[in-house]
Amino acid sequence: MRGVEVSVLIPAAGNGERLGLGPKAFLRVGGRTLLEWALEAFREAAEVLVALPPGAEPPEALRATFLEGGRTRQESVARLLEAASLPLVLVHDVARPFVSRALVERVLEATRATGAAVPVLPVPDTLVRPEGEGYGEVVPREALRLVQTPQGFFTALLREAHAYARRRGLAATDDAQLVRALGYPVALVAGERTAFKITYPEDLTLAEALARAWNV
Ligand code: C5P
């Protein structure tokens, strides 16, 4: 991504409630914080903006611009978007430390071509809609995908999508949803199993093992 006109936006203002170990940005895996992992993955980016929890001390010696996040992920991204100065953005959750160069390139290429692109994975498990406490209707997994980050957009398009969501009171867990709500198509590219989101305590064990294998 060297020389590419892209602003990397990292919402890292969550409190990591499901994990219960404080803000994920400052969680250590393989001897470095999740924020350091994310910045390493995008070290060639022309601009990196990070939203931190209110009151958090911006870490020293990290090459990024730090802003205060909002009450939700969506609000944090909206703040980062306002500050972005380049024509493309990549939005990446701090909770996904293992992002390969190949994944970033795939997303960027599709974003340049279409204006909006996200990495997805097939669903490996059987999916079921529970009926009370029991086994209900099976949902065909072939029809579904798991959505990851980084997600790429024309900056102007994502700004329009966030403005539309604000006017309509839409709440979304990722940015592609808002672009779709605006009526604009979002391209899918192949995601990576290693780019999983650290959410539960056992994910940390997995992340420690991957950190040892990951050459950076
Ligand atoms: O909790 P969730 O999985 O939705 O968080 C996804 C990402 O959004 C995380 O990187 C988290 O730090 C970020 N976030 C944020 N501001 C919030 C809540 C979450 O930047 N208010």
* In the chain, domain spans: 6-215
Alpha carbon distance 78, 82 (integer Å): 6
CB of 114 sitting under 6 A from ligand 1: no
Rounded to an integer, the average pLDDT of 93-107 is 96
Residue 42: band (very low, low, confident or very high) from pLDDT cuts 50, 70, 90: very high
> H or E element: which one contains 154?
strand 151-154
Atom of ligand 1 at shortest distance to CA of 72? 21
Residue 189: band (very low, low, confident or very high) from pLDDT cuts 50, 70, 90: very high
**What is the fold, at CATH topology level, of the domain defined by 6-215?**
Spore Coat Polysaccharide Biosynthesis Protein SpsA; Chain A (3.90.550)
Rounded to an integer, the average pLDDT of 171-192 is 98
| Residue 216 pLDDT greater than 70, yes or no | no
CB of 95 sitting under 6 A from ligand 1: yes
Instruction: Tell if the pTM clears 0.85, that is, is over it.
Output: yes
